[in-house]
C-alpha cells in the first residue's frame, strides 16, 4: 500500500511539473573581456500546477569552465548570497521576481567563459532549471596591416590581423581582381589566430583597395585603404640600371687601355736592354 501511495505521489508530481520549464533569454551570450553581461531566465509553470506553487529559492551555478559550482543564491529566507570566486566580484541580481531571475556580471574575465544553470526550487514541484552559455572574447586585437608590393607586372596585395576569436577580412575594390583573395590562418599558443588575406592584381591606371577587418570585440569594423596608380609595366628602372652598367664597363675598359698604352712601351724597352746584357739605368749613365 505504501508503494502504491508513493507511485501515485510521483505520478502526480510528474504531471504537475511536466510542461513547466525555465526559459532563458538566449542560449548563448558573447561578451568582450572587461565588459558586462546580464543573463536572464524566466520560469514558466504548467497550467496544471497548483495555485499554491511557491518559488523558495533561485540558484545560479556554473557548469563548465575554470570554475564549476554554485555562484549565487536568492531566497526570501536567506536573501542574496554570492559564493566561490564570485563572492568578491562585481556580481549582482539585477532582477528578482517570483518567476524571473537575472544576474549581471561586470568586468568579465576569460575565466567567466562557460555554461551557467539557473535553478528554480518550486514548492511542491521541485527543481526546474534552464541554462545559458557565455562566450568571452578578448578585446586585444592587433593593429591590422595592409601591404602592397609591386613585382614586374603585378601588385601583391595583402591584409593581416590577429585576434581571438579569429578576425574576418573582406575586400572592397574599385576593380574586380583577376583572382579571388586567398585566406590563411595561423594558430598561436595563446589561442589567438592570425588571418592573412592576399591576392595579386595587374593594374593599368588607378584603383582603390580597401581591407575591412571584422571582430566581435570591435564596436565598428577597422577599414584600411590605399590607392594604386600605374601607367603600365615600369621598365625605366631596368633601362637606367643597364645604362649605368654599360657606362661603367666602358670607363673601366678605357682606363685599362690607357694604362696598357703607358706601360707596354716601357716594358718592351726594358726587355730590349735586357737582351744586351745591361739594364736601362746603366745605359743612361
Domain assignment present for 2: no
The C-alpha angle 218, 113, 40, rounded to 5 degrees, equals 90
Q: Do 242 and 210 share a structural domain?
A: no
Cell of 68: 564549476
Number of domains making up the chain: 3
24 shares its domain with 85? yes
> What local confidence, expressed as pLDDT, does residue 170 receive?
92
Q: What is the pLDDT of residue 174?
A: 78
| Last residue of one domain, picked from the residues 77, 111, 137 | 137
Looking up residue 153, the CATH number of its domain turns out to be 2.60.40.10
Same domain as 109, residue 49:
yes
Q: 255 is in which domain, residue-wise?
A: 236-277
- Examine residue 40 and state whether it is found in any structural domain, yes or no: yes
| Of the residues 78, 112, 137, the one at which a domain ends | 137
Report the alpha-carbon distance of residue 282 to residue 96 in Å, rounded: 124
pTM here is: 0.50
Helix (H) or strand (E) holding 115: strand 114-123
Query: Cis omega before residue 165 (within 30°)?
Result: yes
Residues 6+ apart with CB under 8 A from 185: 166, 193, 194, 195, 196
Q: Which of 80, 108, 137 is the last residue of a domain?
A: 137
Cα separation, 14 vs 22, whole angstroms: 16
Exposure pattern of 82-116 as b/e (b: 16+ CB <10 Å)?
A: beebbeebebebeeeeeeebbbebeebeeebbbbb
In a domain, 282, yes or no: no
Distance, CA of 155 to CA of 57 (rounded, Å): 66
In a domain, 52, yes or no: yes
SS3 at position 238: helix
| H helix count then E strand count, the chain | 3, 17
pLDDT by residue for the chain (285 residues), tens only, comes to: 444 343 333 343 434 444 556 677 667 888 888 889 999 888 887 656 666 678 889 999 999 888 889 999 998 888 999 998 898 888 898 888 878 889 999 989 888 999 999 999 888 788 888 889 998 887 678 888 998 887 767 888 899 999 888 899 999 887 777 778 899 999 998 778 999 999 888 766 777 889 999 987 788 899 999 887 765 544 445 556 666 777 777 777 777 777 777 676 766 666 666 655 545 444 444
Amino acid at each position: 500500500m505504501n508503494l502504491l501511495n508513493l507511485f501515485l505521489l510521483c505520478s502526480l508530481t510528474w504531471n504537475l511539473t511536466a510542461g513547466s520549464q525555465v526559459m532563458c533569454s538566449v542560449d548563448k551570450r558573447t561578451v568582450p573581456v572587461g565588459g558586462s553581461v546580464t543573463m536572464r531566465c524566466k520560469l514558466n509553470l504548467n497550467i496544471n500546477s497548483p495555485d499554491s506553487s511557491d518559488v523558495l529559492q533561485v540558484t545560479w551555478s556554473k557548469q563548465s569552465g575554470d570554475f564549476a559550482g554554485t555562484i549565487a543564491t536568492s531566497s526570501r529566507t536567506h536573501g542574496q548570497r554570492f559564493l566561490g570566486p564570485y563572492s568578491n566580484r562585481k556580481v549582482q541580481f539585477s532582477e528578482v521576481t517570483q518567476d524571473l531571475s537575472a544576474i549581471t556580471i561586470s568586468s568579465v574575465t576569460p575565466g567567466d567563459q562557460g555554461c551557467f544553470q539557473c535553478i528554480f526550487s518550486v514548492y511542491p514541484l521541485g527543481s526546474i532549471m534552464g541554462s545559458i552559455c557565455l562566450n568571452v572574447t578578448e578585446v586585444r586585437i592587433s593593429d591590422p596591416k595592409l601591404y602592397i608590393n609591386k613585382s614586374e607586372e603585378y601588385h601583391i596585395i595583402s591584409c593581416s590581423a590577429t585576434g581571438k576569436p579569429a578576425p574576418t577580412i573582406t575586400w572592397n575594390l574599385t576593380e574586380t581582381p583577376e583572382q579571388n583573395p586567398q585566406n590563411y590562418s595561423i594558430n598561436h599558443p595563446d589561442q589567438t589566430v592570425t588571418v592573412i588575406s592576399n591576392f595579386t592584381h595587374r593594374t593599368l591606371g588607378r584603383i582603390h583597395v580597401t581591407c575591412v577587418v571584422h571582430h566581435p570585440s570591435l564596436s565598428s569594423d577597422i577599414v584600411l585603404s590605399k590607392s594604386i596608380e600605374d601607367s603600365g609595366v615600369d621598365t625605366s628602372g631596368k633601362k637606367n640600371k643597364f645604362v649605368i652598367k654599360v657606362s661603367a664597363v666602358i670607363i673601366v675598359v678605357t682606363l685599362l687601355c690607357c694604362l696598357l698604352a703607358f706601360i707596354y712601351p716601357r716594358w718592351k724597352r726594358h726587355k730590349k736592354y735586357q737582351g744586351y746584357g745591361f739594364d736601362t739605368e746603366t745605359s743612361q749613365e
